Structures are given as structure tokens and as C-alpha cells.
Amino acid sequence: MPSEFVQIFKAMADETRFNLLNLLLTHDLCVRALARHLKSSEAAVSQHLKQLREAGLVKGEKRGYWTHYTVIRERLHGLAEDLKGLTALPPCREGVCIKNLEHQNDCRKEEGKMCDCKCQQPEMLKGKPEDCTLEQIKACHGDKEHPCVDDKKSQKE
């Protein structure tokens, strides 16, 4: 979905293509009519329509000598639902380190990974993470290794 999102938003981000979509939402129009409305050349409009077609936002239908274009409304509705779904994702818990995330927007699977500058229970942290005593580490993280310590330091030891 992310690469599909990007393609759609890139297609819609151009002002001319956005204006084409707005026109086509009200009427099915041919390239000549679109060019006239936008005060642009037919060649330019054709190139913009090509990008909108490749993004799956418009389709053309031959009517006599002319091809009339229309917006694929289901695609816009689907895009709106996908965006709505993104806003419904719960935020990551404080302390989950973005540096340690293996997948974007995947903090819920990475809850145990902590930032090298934060601790799940900061009230128990005394001093810098690398200065934690074994008791502090066990109290904060159980029997796991201390996730707050920088990996580079661990590799030197």
C-alpha cells in the first residue's frame, strides 16, 4: 500500500492534475474540452491524464471520435478510507526508540526496544543508561540485556 499511496499522491500533487480531477468529478470530458477549460495545450493535458491513468484515478472511454475521461470514484473512496485507517492507528508508547524500529509504523511490535536515552521506567533510572546497576536493569527490563545502552559500546567490550 505505501508505494501505491505515494504514486497516487504524486499524481494528485500537481496543481494541473488536481484541477483535472476536479473538472472530471463534475463532467466526463475529452482532452480538447479539458485543455480549453484549463487554458493549456492538448498535449500537456494528455500527459497529465496519462499520469492520472497510471495512478488508477481516471479512465478513458471511446465515444465516437473522442475519448472522454472520468474519475474512478471508487479509487478516491478507497484512498479516503485508507487515510482514515492511518489516522486510527494508536500512537507508539513513550520510550519506544525510532532508531531501533525495524519497520516504519511498527512500534507496536517493537514495544520492548528502548531508546538509548530513555527507559521504560525513567523514575528508576539513576544517571546515564550505561551507568545503570544490575539491580536497576533487572527492575526495569527483567532478565533481558539492557536495551538502553548503545550497541557500539557493547561491540567494543
Grid coordinates belonging to 140: 526495569
DSSP class of residue 114? B
* 118 has pLDDT over 80: no
Query: How is residue 149 written as a grid cell?
Result: 545502552
pLDDT of residue 83: 87
φ and ψ at 50, to 5 degrees? -60, -45
Give me the DSSP letters along 133-150: -HHHHHHHHTTS--TTS-
Please give the share of the chain, as a percent, with pLDDT higher than 70. 59
Q: What is the pLDDT of residues 71-109, one digit of tens each?
A: 999 999 999 998 888 887 776 665 555 555 555 555 555
Tell me how far the alpha carbon of residue 63 is from its chain's centroid. Answer: 38
Pick the CATH number of 2-80 from 1.10.620.20, 3.90.340.10, 3.50.50.60, 1.10.10.10: 1.10.10.10
Cell numbers describing residue 78: 478507497
Neighbour order of strands in the sheet with 29-30: 29-30, 66-71, 58-63
pLDDT at 117: 44
Distance between CA atoms of residues 56 and 63, nearest Å: 20
Q: Which residue has the higher pLDDT, 11 or 95?
A: 11
**Mean pLDDT over residues 20-24, rounded?**
96
Of 91, 93, 59, whose CA–CA distance to 74 is shortest? 59
For 81, the enclosing helix (H) or strand (E) is helix 73-87
pTM above 0.75, yes or no: no
- State the pLDDT confidence band at 5, using cuts at 50, 70 and 90: confident
Instruction: Pinpoint the residues of the chain covered by CATH 1.10.10.10.
Output: 2-80
pLDDT at 120 over 60: no
Average pLDDT over residues 48-58: 96
